[in-house]
């Protein structure tokens, strides 16, 4: 079994507890990490904070319209979005998809129906995921398409951000990647403040890879500039 950190995170935006509570439990049983939001405002806030892998979005929210939330999310990300609608008119369906949602379901729905739609969307997203050659060096292997990292053949459980960070470095192996570039690539922000969160993640990555800041095997610090990933072994990209 894979660790907790590799469970895909779902942001579930729904104000009706009668739906969100049992359905969140079903998602949890099916292997998803569930993050709940009951308003449009808290949904966007939670999205920015947690960068979920999937969004389940109710159309009618107490402080706004799910369609506006969908538009806002699309400005920020191409995260898969499944709209939940009680209305079920053709117009709402078309509008839902025009907003950039990946699919919709009409209430009342069963958790089994929604989860199978979610899996289909995630599978489709998987087929368009990058299928780069794996990166290999000194016992470390990164499969970008499968988002899988092994060290001497053993799987290393990385959080989403840790994986993204390692990928950003490995895809530019041998070159310095600046702190600002990493913040933009991994956290998707133009960073004006502290990059402390980057250091925290680098430290966690090194620990999981058995790497050391003073005698780096994989990730070298380029003081005041950024980080550099070791060159891949010949024959791998
Ligand atoms: Ca609602």
Walking along the chain (237 residues) 10 residues at a time, the average pLDDT comes out as 62 94 90 94 95 92 92 90 76 68 83 84 57 82 90 93 91 88 76 75 95 95 94 70
Task: Quote the ligand 1 centre to 226 CA distance (angstroms).
Answer: 45
Q: What is d(CA 230, CA 138) in angstroms, rounded to the nearest whole number?
A: 9
Q: What is the pLDDT of residue 88?
A: 58
Q: What is the pLDDT of residue 121?
A: 82
The CA–CA distances, whole Å, from 141 to 25, 65, 134 equal 35, 44, 7
Q: What is the pLDDT of residue 130?
A: 38
Task: Quote the ligand 1 centre to 148 CA distance (angstroms).
Answer: 37
Give the residue extent of every domain in the chain: 9-124, 135-229
Is the fold of 9-124 the same as that of 135-229? no
Q: What is d(CA 197, CA 172) in angstroms, rounded to the nearest whole number?
A: 21
Q: What is the pLDDT of residue 237?
A: 42
Task: Quote the ligand 1 centre to 141 CA distance (angstroms).
Answer: 45
Q: What is d(CA 70, CA 129) in angstroms, rounded to the nearest whole number?
A: 22
Q: What is d(CA 202, CA 55) in angstroms, rounded to the nearest whole number?
A: 28
Q: What is the pLDDT of residue 92?
A: 64
Please give all residues whose CB falls under 5 A of ion ligand 1, grouped by chain where several chains appear. 15, 58, 60
Total-model pTM: 0.52
Is the domain spanning 9-124 CATH 3.40.640.10? The answer is: no
Task: Quote the ligand 1 centre to 76 CA distance (angstroms).
Answer: 23
Q: What is d(CA 213, CA 174) in angstroms, rounded to the nearest whole number?
A: 16
Task: Quote the ligand 1 centre to 124 CA distance (angstroms).
Answer: 27
Q: What is the pLDDT of residue 193?
A: 60
**Angle at the Cα of 145 (from 75 to 125), degrees rounded to 5?**
45
Helix (H, G, I), strand (E, B) or coil at 229: strand
- Of the options 3.30.70.260, 1.25.40.10, 1.10.10.10, 3.40.50.2000, the CATH number for the domain spanning 135-229: 1.10.10.10
Task: Quote the ligand 1 centre to 30 CA distance (angstroms).
Answer: 23
Q: What is the pLDDT of residue 192?
A: 57
The CA–CA distances, whole Å, from 188 to 172, 181, 208 equal 17, 9, 24
Residue 58: which residues within 8 A CB-CB, separation 6 or more?
13, 14, 15, 16, 66, 83, 84, 85
Determine the straight-line distance between the first and last CA of the chain, rounded to whole angstroms.
29
> What secondary structure letter does DSSP report for 55?
E
Q: Closest by alpha carbon to 57, among 89, 110, 104, 113?
A: 104
């Amino acid at each position: 079994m894979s660790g907790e950190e590799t469970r895909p995170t779902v942001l579930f935006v729904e104000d009706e507890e009668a739906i969100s509570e049992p359905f969140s439990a079903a998602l949890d049983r099916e292997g998803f990490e569930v993050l709940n939001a009951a308003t449009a405002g808290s949904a966007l806030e939670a999205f920015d904070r947690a960068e979920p892998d999937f969004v389940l979005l109710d159309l009618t929210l107490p402080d706004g319209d799910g369609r506006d939330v969908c538009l806002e999310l699309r400005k920020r990300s191409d995260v898969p979005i499944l709209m939940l609608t009680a209305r079920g008119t053709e117009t709402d369906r078309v509008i839902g998809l025009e907003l950039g949602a990946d699919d919709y379901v009409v209430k009342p729905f069963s958790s089994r129906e929604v989860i199978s739609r979610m899996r289909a969307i995630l599978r489709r997203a998987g087929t368009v995921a990058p299928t780069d050659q794996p990166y290999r060096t000194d016992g470390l292997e990164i499969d970008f398409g499968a988002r899988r990292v092994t060290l001497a053949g053993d799987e290393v459980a990385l959080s989403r951000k840790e994986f993204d960070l390692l990928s950003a470095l490995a895809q530019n192996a041998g070159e310095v990647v600046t702190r600002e570039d990493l913040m933009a690539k991994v956290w998707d922000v133009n960073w004006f403040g502290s990059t402390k969160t980057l250091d925290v993640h680098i430290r966690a990555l090194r620990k999981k890879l058995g790497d050391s800041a003073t005698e780096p095997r994989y990730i070298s610090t380029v003081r005041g500039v950024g980080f550099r990933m070791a060159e891949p072994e010949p024959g791998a990209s």
